Amino acid sequence: MENLNKFYIDGRWVAPNSSQTMSVLNPATEIRIGTIALGNETDVNAAVVAATKAFSHYSQSSKAERLQLLKRLMTGTQERFEDLAQAMSSEMGAPISMARDAHADAAVGHLQGFIDALEKLEERDVLANGDVQVYEPIGVCGLITPWNWPMNQIALKVIPALATGCTCVLKPSEHTPISAMIYAEIIHEAGYPAGVFNLIQGDGPTVGSALSRHPDIQMMSFTGSTRAGTAVTRDAAETVKRVTLELGGKSPNIVFADCDLKERVTASVDECMYNTGQSCDAPTRLLVERSCLGEVLEIAKRAGDAVVIGNPMKEGSHIGPLFDRIQFDRVQKMISVGIDEGATILCGGLGRPDGVSKGWFVKPTIFTDVSNN
């Protein structure tokens, strides 16, 4: 990709101030697919200056003008739909069918939803007491998105900012940078004024912190770990920014004996393994009424054994690898701890699946006889 080692600032692809770089690896092959630049505080400052300057005129744009831009963005997103899907399959290991049907489709679906919402939005409401309520753009928004659902989270943050007359600086996960850069190209081709949207690659402690602390950013929106979300909140508090957070979870499903056990347990296992288990709302725990535990275990084992692992670039309903070596090692450690603590493996276990010698593939694993912690 031509602009892989550049940042998108003030309507142009520019060389970074920082000389630090990072390799992007395909998690299925462990082969480098690119090298990106990692930004620093100087790069952040340049992007915020551009966004601040652009806000002075973009915030005065009409709803009709912003709708026209969003519809151009829709055209560009549809035209480069396959590019987005292929990028996410390569950079984070999503099977290509899922990359199209869920990951890339999120960019289209969310955009249409926000277009519909903006068309219905009244920018002025007259309240019952005669007061007038006016909706105005907040200002420059700092947006930080994760690696597990790259386009889903970018769309959910960038599009409403653009729709409401805000300008923004996006820091996507440095682990999934390619899809974000393609989206920056789409925004550019849609004709957004220079400085309205800016993109900087970098890590959380450097670029993320610089965004959160910057006095000219009025709002931070972050999706990621609880630890990092705490840091964003702490940094943003110094300048009393608005902050929205979507953090990690450990979601339980509760199974009672009077439900359709086969349907519910099978669906829970499938939903847990979806996206290779890398979703904040994955139902990673089943709390089961004891009277039906035996039947639930049988169904869960069948469902877990039926999960197919395969090459992300091939069509199908299989799952792909974890997104990097760190995640692979973390999951292996969790499985090992479960074994050491006396839990029973219902399916899966340590190591890669049989016949797999490279890539961050893991066996779909279910434990029973576990404590609720």
Q: Is 246 a catalytic residue?
A: yes
- How far is residue 175 from each of residues 23, 88, 132, 369, measured CA to CA in Å? 9, 10, 46, 35
List the catalytic residue out of 41, 246, 295, 298. Answer: 246
Structure tokens at 292: 């039906």
Phi then psi for residue 54, to 5 deg, are -65, -30
CB atoms within 10 A of CB 48: 24
- What number of residues does the chain have? 373
| The three-state (H, E, C) secondary structure of the chain, written as one string | CCCCCCEEECCEEECCCCCCEEEEECCCCCCEEEEEECCCHHHHHHHHHHHHHHHHHHCCCCHHHHHHHHHHHHHHHHHCHHHHHHHHHHHHCCCHHHHHHHHHHHHHHHHHHHHHHHHHCCCEEECCCCCEEECCCCCEEEEECCCCCHHHHHHHHHHHHHHCCCEEEEECCCCCHHHHHHHHHHHHHHCCCCCCEEECCCCHHHHHHHHHHCCCCCEEEEEECHHHHHHHHHHHHCCCCEEEEEECCCCEEEECCCCCHHHHHHHHHHHHHHHHHCCCCCCCEEEECHHHHHHHHHHHHHHHHHCCECCCCCCCCCECCCCCHHHHHHHHHHHHHHHHCCCEEEECCCCCCCCCCCCCCCCCCEEECCCCC
Nearest to 20 by CA among 231, 171, 224, 207: 207
Nearest to 153 by CA among 66, 14, 302, 278: 278
List the catalytic residue out of 41, 189, 271, 280. Answer: 280
Q: Is 168 a catalytic residue?
A: no
Active site residues: 246, 280
